[in-house]
Structure 1
Amino acid sequence: MCPSGLFRGRKRNMLDVFLIEGQLVWNIPLMAGLFCMGVLYVALLRTHSELKVHPTQPLLFFSSLFLLYLTMGSPLSTLNHLLFSLHMIQMSILFFVIPPLFLLGIPETHTPIIKGISLSPFAALVTFAIMFFFYHLQAVLTFLTLNPFIHNSYLFLLLLLSFMIWRPIVREQNKQYAFLSGILLLPACGQLILSGLFGSVTNPLLSEMMTSLCITPAGLNSLGIFPSAFNSRIDLIIAGILMMGMHKFALLLTARLKNKVIERDLTGNG
């Protein structure tokens, strides 16, 4: 029997379902891992007093850890499955906002460690663009949602590649490379927009969640999650536009922070 049978006899809402079924949980192992990273960062700064650290850099570093936990370890990571537009905000923060904040928060003298384990920037960018495009094909996303270990491994590899992509943008001020990154992401954005305009509309993330909660499509409508005017095609179009917009925003934010942090870090001026 489905656990959601606990709701029989009274009106359900989505928060009831998530709370009873244990969907809104905090990822304690991830929290512990990020806490250890924060401790190591503080220890690094304390034991290497010769490092030239701008006062903003620790804030950027810990902001990246906070956003990583918020997007992947908090209950929001479950709620993001309800809409493709919410999911794309999550993906955009994960791949376009967190990596540059993290890299900007690390003193320049220690970033060669990251560079040493990287692919070439172009290879990393092309690999990421291909994997990100395939990730949002409905057949691929459906397969991944049915195999959590493969899904998590896929996302981890994308995150690792995103750090490799952002390093030359953050450290080497490569404007042509930054422009190319936007061009190579267009197929993934366009695929979502075209699916909303002409393709079949399904959300494998939501479908897998509803299956695990034993909720039928009719039951989903009765929960009142979406407004009456909600259109899943428009949701896909918004998702594609959001991804392009957030990537552009991340590039502008990185350029602004880079001028403030990196140049002063290298010159030793506070």
Structure 2
Amino acid sequence: MENIEIFGFNALWSPYFFVSIVICVLLYFFLINREGDKFRGREKVTVNQQWIFTTAMVLLYIVKGSPVDLLGHLMFSAHMIQMAILYLLITPLLIISIPAWMWRTVTDLPVIRQAFRFMTKPLFALILFNGLFSLYHFPAIFDFVKSAPLYHTASTLILFFASLFMWWPLLNKFEEKNQLSGILKIGYIFANGMLLTPACALIIFAKVPLYATYYDPRSWMQAMQLCVPAGTLSGLNLTGPEMFNSLPIMEDQQLGGVAMKIIQEIIYGTMLAYVFFKWARQEREKDEYEEGVQKALK
């Protein structure tokens, strides 16, 4: 198994992406601590929110800028773990950590308002993300997306925003526009888990390798250009991804499907517990309030 350090510092650590992440973090803290007439009266961002945002940005750099991103082009299982963390963990963390007034500033823009309102409708958001995720993992589409940086970047951004729309009904920052009750949120989470299952099952139970970019040397070399400078690749003697992956291609593929499903179950299970206990507490408080009113009227 070859050492991935042969691909060079830029491929391993993506310094430009690191600088972009640092700028985003600094901008976030600048905005939440800014004073002035436009910022008076806005809710304070809690320390927990600040930590959550920082954690989300660190995770974003790990999955898209650190050697993990390079591993995602060498091992299908690493790629699936990348996707699970990016679309099922980082997105909800960003929704939670960014204050409502900041979201409102963006989503109230005339060119965004109507589109955002439509895209975050629960049924549409549910079908959009899971449908796009499943389509992405059709072998022909997957290999096509891996064929050029433009397609890869576009698909990553589309899935990222689709995941944001999918999570929004569960973590709605605008109380006056809360679309789902507690019991509906529970059903929404179950539906998400069910709709993501076919894509994982396709990968886990496939009898042959599905993705040429992980077993065909020519397709793999083309996909590697997404994260390794062409000049670096041309100077290396590479035969295929098996040089860097000790797992057989079928085992790596199955591990990727299993990893995605396990991570999804953990995240959705945690969200389900949070929603259920919050809903149960609200119902109990409502019952106690009604009992108090009835006693006061007697």
Q: Relative to structure 1, is the Cα distance of residues 249 and 203 closer, same or farther in structure 2, using a 3 angstrom cutoff?
A: farther
State the 1:249 CA deviation.
1.6
> In the TM superposition, what is the alpha-carbon distance from 1:94 to its structure 2 partner?
0.5
Q: Who is 2:151 aligned against?
A: 150
Matches within 5 A, 1:208-227: 208-210=219-221, 213=233, 215-217=238-240, 223=243, 225-227=244-246
Please tell me whether the aligned partners of residues 169 and 175 of structure 1 are also in contact (alpha carbons under 8 angstroms).
no
Q: Match of 1:5?
A: none
- Within 5 Å, which residues of 2 pair with 1:156-175? 156-171=157-172, 173=182, 174-175=185-186
Instruction: Mark the CA change 1:38 to 1:257 in structure 2 (over 3 Å): closer, same or farther.
Output: farther
- 2:3 — aligned with what? 14
Change (3 A) 1:65 1:128: same
Structure 2 CA distance for aligned equivalents of residues 65 and 84 of structure 1: 23
Alignment partners' CA distance in 2, 1:39 and 1:136 = 35
Q: Distance in 2 between matches of 1:13 and 1:49?
A: 56
Provide the residue aligned with 1:178 in structure 2.
189
Q: Residue type matched to 2:171 in 1? A: V
Name the SS of the counterpart of 1:216 in structure 2: coil
Q: Does 1:58 align with 2:47?
A: no
Normalised by the size of structure 1, how large is the TM-score? 0.76
1:137 counterpart residue number: 138
1:117-154 deviation per Cα after TM superposition (whole angstroms, max 9, x unaligned): 52023222212222211212221121111121011101
Contact 1:27 1:74 in 2 (8 A): no
Report if aligned partners of 2:53, 2:97 keep a CA contact under 8 Å in 1.
Answer: yes
1:54-98 residue CA offsets vs partner (Å, 9 max, x unmatched)? 331111111111111211122321112221111110000010000
Question: Would you say 1:237 and 2:226 are equivalent positions?
Answer: no
In the alignment, the residues of structure 1 paired with residue 73 and residue 45 of structure 2 have an alpha-carbon distance, to the nearest angstrom, of 38
Judging changes above 3 Å, is the alpha-carbon distance between structure 1 residues 194 and 235 closer, same or farther for their aligned structure 2 residues?
A: same
Which residue does the alignment assign to 2:94?
102
Distance 2:81 2:5 in 1: 25
Q: What is the aligned counterpart of 2:83 among 91, 105, 109?
A: 91
Taking CA–CA contacts closer than 8 Å with sequence separation of 6 or more, which of the two structures ends up with the larger relative contact order? 1
Partner of 2:27: 40
| Residues in 1 aligned to 2:12 and 2:101: alpha-carbon distance in whole angstroms | 40
Q: Secondary structure at the match of 1:170?
A: coil
Counterpart of 1:97, as a letter, is L
List alignment gaps of at least 5 residues for structure 2. 173-179, 225-232, 282-298
> 1:200 corresponds to which residue?
209
Measured in 2, the distance between the counterparts of 1:254 and 1:103 equals: 14
**Partner secondary structure for residue 46 of structure 2:** coil
TM-score normalised per structure 2:
0.70
- Can you give the 5+ residue segments of structure 1 that lack an aligned partner in the other structure? 1-11, 264-270
- 1:129/1:27 CA distance change after superposition, 3 Å: farther
Number of paired residues?
240
- Offset of 1:254 from its aligned partner? 4.1
Partner-residue secondary structure (3-state), 1:43: helix
Counterpart residue number, 1:73: 65
Report the AA paired with residue 208 of structure 2.
G
Q: Which has the larger radius of gyration?
A: 2
Q: For structure 1, which segment, 83-92 or 132-141, has the greater mean C-alpha deviation from structure 2 after superposition?
A: 132-141
Q: Give the secondary structure class of the aligned counterpart of 1:39.
A: helix
Contact 2:68/2:78 (<8 A) preserved: no
